[in-house]
């Protein structure tokens, strides 16, 4: 820069901040009206939000079973389905917000958090401005928008926010081995594991690859041991959910999710779809005629290409640790694209747990994450300061121009059209949910093979005299504990509209009573002798769930203790020698 020239850097910084604020406004606008937006899974999630909050309010913790809209449909979804999003919505509901407000606030917060943590993570390696670009690209990535406004996959969306948070916490713990970073890393990692089962499996190799990179860079065992300890605590905290979800999957119809539209063979993305700029709100179909967008995004493709070119040029001239990191994320990007396309069929067919991914296009979030980091890496590797800012601001402007038009749902649903306590859950759009309640869900008990044709005929008490003469009075009623006073003129057979699932137990006058499970419908059938009796149905943890709960409780206590005293009990030289 010659004498008298004005340094343009402050202007570039102002421009970058301005574009970031514009993105923040564009992202926030759909949430400001306080209305739900229509999307693939919106009805399911709103039912889960309500059911989860009610279960917590009744004292159920951890939440495993909720009720759906109608009496007589016990849903054991949270023994298997990621609960983290609903803990956040329930917290907002306890603070006084409505169900809709809680839902919208949690989604908006996750979106903002994804950018904040991406910035914090990338800044550790590429400095502030490249980190801002990576955060910008991650927040505005087309598939990120698809997750929220097309699919409304709230668990996947929340997990995507946790991914950079985990990487940031790993880096912080690696560099500053003390109690607070250890505690934060374990808690953040547990939150990630509880956010989305599939993304947990998808990103675990990325976390391990990053840890290997840190070890290669520093050649130090002590931070490696500390990080492993934190991850072990994270697994322990999430054990109450992870272990039953794996060990008790055979108690549901979960395998049914792998057939038909859930068969991965029907859901590979065509190569040209990754470059298409078309946008739609329908679902995924076999072939290349989807009305659902699968684009990576032109700006992201450009960032990948630019990063590759400068990566190759820089690699010839010098070796740099951040150059290696950029190369690793380029490798992650290539693997993600490979897994999206049908050329990876042989991999999918040989690894059974990939079947549960169902849709190869889920790997778009991995591609979006890696390409967003590559955008920052590209700008970082440009050594001329002016060119660096020009390139970064150009990419931000291009991304905002190309993608911001899609940051909106197909239409909104006013809150006054929602009635949680009526079969017309969505007033005026009953057809949207008509089939939602009549088929057997993948998370329903395996003893349930058929649903009643008319849920409206089921009494609110969920108890009915099948044979004999008896009066039934409800004494107490929660999702996991149902108490009745039964006055039987003679021996009576009662049908309790409670779907059996291990480990429901029944007592008559405080003593364990044998019961049967109704064929097809899966309801509990109980014979009650003549006279006045107290009948109680109570849901208990199986041995597997009980042990998993203990692991999480012990892990939480140990994590607190170790975090408080960690500075005094770091691994000593003798321990390192043993490990080596």
One domain, residues 404 and 480: no
Name every residue whose Cβ is closer than 8 Å to that of residue 355 and which is 6 or more positions away in sequence. Answer: 258, 264, 348
Alpha carbons 510 and 501: distance in angstroms, whole number = 21
Name every residue whose Cβ is closer than 8 Å to that of residue 97 and which is 6 or more positions away in sequence. Answer: 105
Per this entry, what is the length of the chain?
A: 580
Gyration radius from the chain CA atoms: 27
Are 476 and 470 a contacting pair, CB within 8 Å?
no
Which tokens sit at 310? 């400068």
One domain, residues 527 and 473: yes
One domain, residues 464 and 515: yes
DSSP code for 426: B
Are 497 and 458 a contacting pair, CB within 8 Å?
yes
One domain, residues 371 and 486: no
444 found inside a domain: no
One domain, residues 400 and 460: no
One domain, residues 380 and 508: no
Are 500 and 443 a contacting pair, CB within 8 Å?
no
Alpha carbons 321 and 175: distance in angstroms, whole number = 15
* Prior bond of 287 cis (ω within 30°): no
The pLDDT value recorded for residue 365 is: 96
One domain, residues 382 and 258: yes
Alpha carbons 83 and 91: distance in angstroms, whole number = 13
Tell me the helix, strand and coil percentages in the chain, rounded to 5: 60, 10, 30
DSSP code for 459: -
CATH number, domain at 495? 2.60.40
One domain, residues 249 and 394: yes
Show the DSSP H helices in 421-461 as ranges.
430-433
| Opening angle at CA 226, ends 224 and 227, nearest 5 | 65
- Below-70 pLDDT ranges, the chain: 1-8, 68-70, 316-319, 414-441, 454-456, 567-580
DSSP code for 269: P
Domain containing 165: what range? 9-32+80-413
418 found inside a domain: no
389 found inside a domain: yes
* Total of domains in the chain: 2
The pLDDT value recorded for residue 424 is: 44
* Prior bond of 503 cis (ω within 30°): yes
423 found inside a domain: no
User: How are beta strands 516-517 and 523-528 bridged, if at all?
Assistant: antiparallel
Are 248 and 542 a contacting pair, CB within 8 Å?
yes
DSSP symbols for 96-149: T--HHHHHHHHHHHHHHHHHHHHHHHHHHHH-HHHHHHHHHHHHH-HHHHIIII
The residue with tokens 């949270």 is 78
Query: 495, 478, 500, 492: which is closest to 533 by C-alpha?
Result: 492
Backbone angles phi, psi at 464, to 5 degrees: -145, 140
442 found inside a domain: no
Largest Cα–Cα separation, the chain: 105
The pLDDT value recorded for residue 162 is: 97
Q: What is the pTM of this model?
A: 0.89
One domain, residues 335 and 473: no
Q: Return the number of other C-beta atoms located less than 10 Å from residue 163's C-beta.
A: 24
One domain, residues 392 and 503: no
Alpha carbons 233 and 183: distance in angstroms, whole number = 9
579 found inside a domain: no
DSSP-assigned beta bridge partners for residue 533: 486
The pLDDT value recorded for residue 440 is: 61
| Opening angle at CA 543, ends 541 and 545, nearest 5 | 55
Query: 567, 95, 147: which is closest to 362 by C-alpha?
Result: 147
One domain, residues 236 and 382: yes
The residue with tokens 């389905």 is 81
Name every residue whose Cβ is closer than 8 Å to that of residue 303 and which is 6 or more positions away in sequence. Answer: 137, 371, 372, 374, 375, 378, 395
Q: Return the number of other C-beta atoms located less than 10 Å from residue 16's C-beta.
A: 19
Query: 222, 230, 87: which is closest to 558 by C-alpha?
Result: 230
The pLDDT value recorded for residue 265 is: 82
H/E run at residue 527 = strand 523-528
Alpha-carbon separation of residue 409 from 132, 348, 400, 463, 536 (angstroms): 26, 32, 17, 42, 46
DSSP symbols for 226-257: HHHHHHHHHHHHHHHHHHHHHHTGGGBTGGGG
296 found inside a domain: yes
Backbone angles phi, psi at 168, to 5 degrees: -60, -45
One domain, residues 375 and 502: no
The pLDDT value recorded for residue 416 is: 63
pLDDT tens-place string over residues 132-146: 999 999 999 999 999
Dihedral, CA of residue 563, residue 565, residue 570 and residue 575, to nearest 10 = -100
429 found inside a domain: no
Reduce the DSSP state of residue 449 to 3 states and report it. coil
């Amino acid at each position: 820069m010659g004498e008298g020239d004005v340094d343009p850097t402050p202007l570039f910084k102002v421009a970058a901040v301005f574009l970031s604020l514009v993105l923040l406004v564009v992202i926030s606008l759909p949430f400001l009206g306080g209305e739900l937006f229509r999307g693939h899974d919106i009805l399911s999630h709103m039912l889960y939000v309500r059911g989860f909050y009610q279960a917590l309010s009744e004292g159920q913790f951890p939440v495993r079973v909720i009720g759906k809209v109608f009496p007589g449909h016990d849903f054991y979804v949270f023994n298997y389905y990621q609960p983290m999003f609903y803990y956040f919505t329930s917290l907002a509901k306890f603070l006084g917000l409505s169900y809709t407000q809680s839902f919208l606030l949690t989604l908006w917060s996750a979106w903002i958090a994804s950018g904040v943590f991406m910035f914090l993570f990338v800044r550790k390696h590429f400095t502030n401005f490249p980190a801002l670009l990576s955060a910008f690209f991650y927040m505005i990535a087309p598939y990120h928008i698809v997750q929220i406004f097309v699919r409304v996959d709230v668990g996947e969306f929340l997990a995507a926010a946790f991914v950079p948070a985990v990487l940031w916490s790993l880096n912080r713990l690696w560099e500053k081995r003390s109690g607070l970073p250890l505690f934060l890393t374990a808690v953040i990692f547990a939150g990630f594991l509880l956010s989305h089962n599939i993304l947990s499996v998808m990103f675990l190799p990325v976390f391990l690859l990053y840890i290997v990179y840190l070890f290669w860079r520093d050649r130090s065992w002590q931070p490696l041991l500390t990080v492993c300890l934190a991850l072990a605590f994270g697994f322990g905290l999430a054990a109450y959910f992870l272990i039953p979800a794996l060990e008790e999957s055979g108690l549901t119809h979960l395998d049914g999710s792998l057939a038909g539209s859930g068969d991965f063979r029907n859901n590979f993305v065509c190569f040209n779809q990754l470059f298409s700029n078309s946008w739609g709100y329908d679902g995924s179909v076999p072939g290349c005629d989807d009305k659902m967008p699968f684009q990576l995004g032109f700006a992201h493709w450009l960032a990948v290409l630019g990063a590759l070119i400068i990566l190759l040029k820089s690699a010839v001239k010098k070796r740099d640790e951040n150059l290696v990191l950029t190369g690793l994320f380029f490798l992650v990007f290539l693997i993600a694209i490979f897994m999206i396309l049908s050329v990876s069929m042989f991999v999918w067919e040989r690894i059974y747990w990939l079947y549960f991914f169902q849709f190869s296009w889920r790997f778009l979030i991995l591609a979006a994450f890696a390409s967003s980091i590559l955008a920052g890496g590209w700008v970082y590797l440009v050594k001329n300061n002016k060119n660096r800012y020009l390139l970064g601001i150009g990419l931000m402007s291009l991304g905002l121009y190309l993608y911001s038009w899609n940051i909106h749902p197909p239409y909104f649903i006013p809150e006054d059209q929602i009635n949680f306590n009526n079969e017309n859950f969505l007033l005026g759009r009953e057809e949207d949910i008509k089939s939602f309640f009549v088929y057997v869900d993948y998370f329903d008990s395996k003893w349930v093979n058929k649903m009643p044709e008319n849920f409206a005929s089921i009494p609110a008490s969920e108890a009915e005299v099948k044979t004999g003469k008896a009066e039934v009075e409800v004494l107490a009623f929660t999702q996991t504990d149902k108490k009745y006073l039964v006055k039987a003129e003679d021996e009576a057979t009662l049908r309790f509209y409670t779907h059996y699932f291990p480990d429901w137990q029944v007592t008559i006058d405080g003593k364990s009573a044998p019961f049967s499970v109704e064929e097809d419908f899966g309801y509990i059938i109980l014979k009650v002798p003549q006279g006045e009796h107290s009948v109680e149905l109570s849901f208990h943890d199986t041995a597997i769930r009980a042990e998993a709960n203990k692991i999480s409780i012990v892990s939480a206590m140990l994590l607190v203790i170790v975090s408080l005293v960690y500075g005094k009990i770091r691994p000593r030289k003798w321990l390192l020698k043993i490990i080596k």
